[in-house]
Amino acid sequence: MQFDDVVLQCFLKHQLQLFPEAVAENLEEAEHFLEECMAVVVDSPQEVLDYFEAEGIDMDGADVDSLLEADEVFEVGDGRYLIVEG
């Protein structure tokens, strides 16, 4: 998956919400890391829910709003969401 600069900047800015220390220092490192962990970008909150369901992740009846607050979900700021499984 290709990640545009907006997604990469979002990850760089917010990576500490998922990891105890920075895993990337620049756009190139961020892109490499996201490719390695097979991160995905989805276009809506519903697609976040669909992703978790498709991956068979136990959500304990979580609704969309609680999924959007999960550490693995990064709001890009333009309606898209980056999902990174740490």
Can you read off the two tokens belonging to residue 63? 């609704």
Asked which of 18-27, 37-46, 52-61, 70-79 is least confident by mean pLDDT, the reply is 52-61
Residues 40, 51: contact at Cβ < 8 Å? yes
Domain segments of the chain: what residues? 5-83
Tens digit of each residue's pLDDT (9 = 90 or more) over 13-24: 999 999 999 999
User: What's this model's pTM, rounded to 2 decimal places?
Assistant: 0.92
If one counts every other C-beta atom within 10 angstroms of the C-beta of residue 59, the result is 13
User: CA torsion 22→36→14→23, rounded to 10°?
Assistant: 0
Full strand arrangement of the beta sheet holding 40-42: 40-42, 81-83, 73-75
Looking at every residue in the chain, the average pLDDT score rounds to: 94
Can you read off the two tokens belonging to residue 84? 């990174």
